[in-house]
Structure formats: structure tokens, C-alpha cells
Structure 1
Amino acid sequence: MSRTAALSAFIESAPPGELADVTKAVKSILGDDAVQNELSPAFEKYNEEQFTTTKLPGGSTEVLVSAHNSLGDGRYYDVETQSSFDFDHATGKASAVQSYVLESQHEDLVKSLVKSLSTHVSEHYPKASYGVFPTSDDTALAILTVANKYSPTNYWNGRWRSSYIYSPSSGSLTGTIKVDVHYYEDGNVRLLTNKDVSLSVGGSATASEIIRKVAAEEKKYQEDLNKAFGSLSEGAFKALRRQLPITRQKIEWEKISGYRLGQDIGGGRR
């Protein structure tokens, strides 16, 4: 494996909200600030796959960066704000905003889906960004949602991504829901999970009907995750350690300095 490929692998596997930390660590290890130029393709791939969000200059809402709304040469567009912008993949900053008019045979459906998706997102996510974009051949529509929640002071970050392709001609809705959570206090635990979705919605389905199908799938997956976590908590995780020491008595931690290892904790002198 080449040096560039090895370094790119670090960038592309960065946990949610930690790309800057990973980049800083790579630079520190190599002692080379110029490595950022070498990793430009990796930054672009990471941002597009992770649906990175950015605020437009002077704007308050965050817009998506993905392969579906790419115009090429580091430029992207957003349907809801009717604008296009340059995006710096290394810094995560948007610039050079211009007006953008969507040209698609499905323009009306795109706008209706954006409106319905906005309602769904506001009802089910504390904070999320979304977008609906025609595919490159304009035969289908990409429906994207990303919800990030970062808490570095508590040593955890998480991201929910959902992407669907709706084909008006066949009425099919296919996609994937992905969850990525990283917890790193006194350890390093990461949850990476995904669910494939394949539904028949109908070619004449309205935007609200399509998004209702999306909402039902995402609700079901959330419920499945909650059940799985409950089972782990009561089963596998509990089996990893004793609930009480071998003495069957809880340790009084405020008196821990007074314990004599092997005597007091072990149940007394033998």
C-alpha cells in the first residue's frame, strides 16, 4: 500500500465530527503540514459519502455536500435555497454562492419532496439536514437526510444517514440507513450499522406518500436498534463483568484508600 493510500484510509474512516482531529494527528505524526494537499481526494470522498453539511455565507441553515448534488470542480447546489456554492473539502467552508435554477423533468416532484421531507425531519430529528436531487441521468431522484449530534466534552459523537433512490417510472424506492456512533472515554468503542431498504411505492405516488414510506422505515429501524441495545445491556454487556465483587458486597469507594488489597477486598485475613 502506498503512503497516500494508507493516509487516505485514515481520513476516510474518521468518526463523525472528528475529521479535523484525525487530520491534525496525521500531520503531527508525519511532521508535515503540506500533507493536506496530498489528501485532497480523500477529503472529497469522505465529505460526499458522509453527507457533510455546511452553512452558506450569510445563511442560517446547513446544506448538504454529496455526490448527488455535485456540479463538478468542487461546486455543489441546493434545491431549497436555489443556490450553488464552492466547497473547500479540507476546511469544510462554503463560498462563492450564486443563484441556481434546477432543470429537471421531475422539478415539481423534487420541490414537493423537499417540502414533505422538511416536515418529516423537523418532527423526528432534533437537528438534521436534507436534500432531494435528480440523478445524473434525470431518471430518478435521490432523497438524502443526515443528522449529526456531537458531544466531544463527553467523549462521544454520532451520525445518522439515510439515502434513497426513487424511480418514478418503476415506482421503486431503494436505499440504505446508516448509523455511526463513536464513544472514546477511557476506551474506543464504535457502532457502525446499516439497513438496506427496498419498497414498491408506485409511479403515481405523491411526495407525501413517498416520505410516509421513508418515515415508517426509519421509525422501524430506530425501534429495532432500541431493542438490540436493550438486549445487549441486559445480556452480553452484563455478562462481561460481575454485578458485585466476590464478597457480594458493594465497595465503598470513598473508603477505597483504607482497603488492603487481598485482605479487606478478599474477605479478610485467612
Structure 2
Amino acid sequence: MSKAAALSSFVQSTPPGELADVTKAIKSILGNDSVQNELEPAFQTYNEEQFSTTKLPGSSNEVLVSPYNSLGDGVYYDVESQSSFKFDHATQKASNVQTYALESNHSDVVKSLVKSLGTHATEHYPKSSIGVYPVEDDSQLAIITVASKYSPSNFWNGRWRSQYIYTPSSGSMTGAIKVDVHYYEDGNVRLLTNKEVSLSVGSAAKAPEIIRKIADVERKYQEDLNKAFGSLSEGAFKSLRRQLPITRQKIEWEKISGYRLGQDIGGGRTR
């Protein structure tokens, strides 16, 4: 594997919210700040696949970066603000904001979906960004939600991504829900999921009905994840723990201050 390919693999496997840290580590290991230029293609792939978000200058709202709203040459557009912007994939900063008017045969549907999807995201995700974009020569619509929560002081970061491709002519919709959570206090644990979705909403469905279908799918998936976590706690994780100390007796916690480590707890003889 070439150096560029190896470095790109590090970037692609970066947990949510940790791209700057990984980049800094790569520079430190190689002792070369100019390596960032070599990683530009990897940064772009990572940001688009992760649906990275950025704040436009002078705005408090975050907009999406994805392959669906790319105009090429590092320029992307946002439907809600009716603007385009230049995005630096290395620093994840936006600049050069300009007015952008969406041209699509489904403009009214896009605007309705943006409104309904925004309401859904606000109600169910504490910090989220959404986007609806015409794709495939305007024959389909990409419906995207990304919700990230970073808590580096508590050693964890997480991101929810859902994307659906809706075909207005047939009323069909396919997509995927992805969850990525990284916990790294005194260890390194990561959850990665990918739930494929396929459903029919009907060619005459209105925006609220389409988003209700999405909400039902996402609620069911979250319930399934919660059940899976419960099963792990009572099953696989529990089997990894020693049920009793080596004395085969439960510790009397109210007397813990009186134990002599290595003797009383370990079963050794006392003097």
C-alpha cells in the first residue's frame, strides 16, 4: 500500500468530530505539515460521505456538505438559504457565499419536503441539519438528515446519518440509516451500523406523508438499537465479567474500608 493510500485510509476511518485530531496526529507522526495537500482528495471523500456540516459566514445555522448538493470544484449549495458556498475540506470552513436559485421541475416538492423534514428533525434530534436535493437528472430527490453530538471532555462523539432517494414518478424510496459512535476513555470502543431501507409512499404522496414514513422507519430502528443494547448488557457483556471474586463470595461493600487488598479480598492468610 502506498503512503497516500495508507494515509487516506486513516482519514476515511476517522470517527465523527475527530478529523482535526487525526490530521494533527498524521502531521506529527510524519513530521511534515505539507502532507495536508496530499490528503485533500481523502478529506473531500470523507466530508461528503459523512454529511459534514458547516456554518455559513454570518449565520448560526449549519448546512450540509454531500455529493448530492455539490456543484463541483469544492462548491456546494443550500436550498433553505438559497445560497452556494465554497468549502475547505481540510479546515471544514465555508466561504464565498453567493445567491443560488434552485432550478428543478420538483422545486415545490423540494421546498415542502424541506419544511416537513425540518420539523421532524427538530422534534427528534437535538442538533441536526437537513437537506433535500434533486439528483439523477432531476428524476429523483435525495432526502438527508444528519445529527451529530460531540462530547470530547467525556471522551465520546457520535453521529446519526439517514439518506433516502425518493422517486416521485413511482413513489418508491430507498436509503440507509447509519449510526457511528466512538467512546475512548481508557479504551477504544466504536459502534458502526448500517440499516438498509426500502419502502413505497405512493406517487401522489404529499411531503408530510413522506416524512411520516421516514419518521416511522427511524423510530423503529432506534427502538431496535435500544433492544440490541439491552441484550448485549444482559448477554455478551455480562459473560465477560467475573460474577464473583476469586474467593467465590460477594464483597460486603459496607466493610470495604476494612479489607486488606491481596489478603482478605484475595483469600490470603493474615498475620
45-54 or 131-140: bigger deviation: 131-140
After superposition, what is the alpha-carbon deviation per residue over 1:81-111, rounded to whole angstroms, capped at 9, x for unaligned?
1000000000010000001100000000000
Q: Which runs of 4+ in 1 moved over 4 A?
A: 251-258
After superposition, what is the alpha-carbon deviation per residue over 1:14-66, rounded to whole angstroms, capped at 9, x for unaligned?
00100111111100000000000000000000000000000000001000000
- 1:190 aligned counterpart, secondary structure: strand
- Letter matched to residue 63 of structure 1: V
Distance 2:253 2:37 in 1: 55
Distance 2:56 2:252 in 1: 54
Alpha carbons of structure 1 residues 40 and 159: separation in structure 2 relative to 1, 3 Å? same
Task: Please show how residues 16-27 of structure 1 align to structure 2 within 5 Å.
Answer: 16-27=16-27
Q: What residue is the counterpart of 1:207 in the other structure? A: 207
- Letter matched to residue 11 of structure 1: V
- 2:103 aligned counterpart, secondary structure: coil
Distance 1:66 1:204 in 2: 28
After superposition, what is the alpha-carbon deviation per residue over 1:142-185, rounded to whole angstroms, capped at 9, x for unaligned?
00000001110111100000000000111101000000000111
Q: Does structure 1 retain, via aligned residues, the 8 Å contact 2:16–2:181?
A: yes
Q: TM-score, normalised by structure 1?
A: 0.96
Distance 1:10 1:166 in 2: 33
Q: What residue is the counterpart of 1:88 in the other structure? A: 88
After superposition, what is the alpha-carbon deviation per residue over 1:173-229, rounded to whole angstroms, capped at 9, x for unaligned?
100000000011111000001100000111111011100000000000000000000
Q: Does 1:156 align with 2:156?
A: yes
Distance 1:212 1:246 in 2: 54
- 1:98 aligned counterpart, secondary structure: strand
Distance 2:14 2:95 in 1: 24
Q: Does structure 2 retain, via aligned residues, the 8 Å contact 1:149–1:159?
A: yes
Q: What residue is the counterpart of 2:220 in the other structure? A: 220
Q: What residue is the counterpart of 2:260 in the other structure? A: 259
Q: What residue is the counterpart of 1:56 in the other structure? A: 56
* Aligned residue pair count: 269
Q: Does structure 1 retain, via aligned residues, the 8 Å contact 2:15–2:182?
A: yes
Distance 2:193 2:32 in 1: 34
Distance 1:253 1:33 in 2: 56
- 2:224 aligned counterpart, secondary structure: helix
Task: Please show how residues 114-133 of structure 1 align to structure 2 within 5 Å.
Answer: 114-133=114-133
Q: Does 1:250 align with 2:244?
A: no
Alpha carbons of structure 1 residues 94 and 257: separation in structure 2 relative to 1, 3 Å? farther
Aligned identity (percent) is 74
- Letter matched to residue 188 of structure 1: N
* Structure 1 unaligned blocks of 5 or more: none
The alpha carbon displacement at 1:267 in A equals 2.3
- 2:4 aligned counterpart, secondary structure: helix
Q: What residue is the counterpart of 1:67 in the other structure? A: 67
- 2:193 aligned counterpart, secondary structure: strand
Q: Does structure 1 retain, via aligned residues, the 8 Å contact 2:259–2:265?
A: no
Q: TM-score, normalised by structure 2?
A: 0.95
Distance 2:69 2:225 in 1: 30
After superposition, what is the alpha-carbon deviation per residue over 1:88-141, rounded to whole angstroms, capped at 9, x for unaligned?
000010000001100000000000000000110011111100000000411000
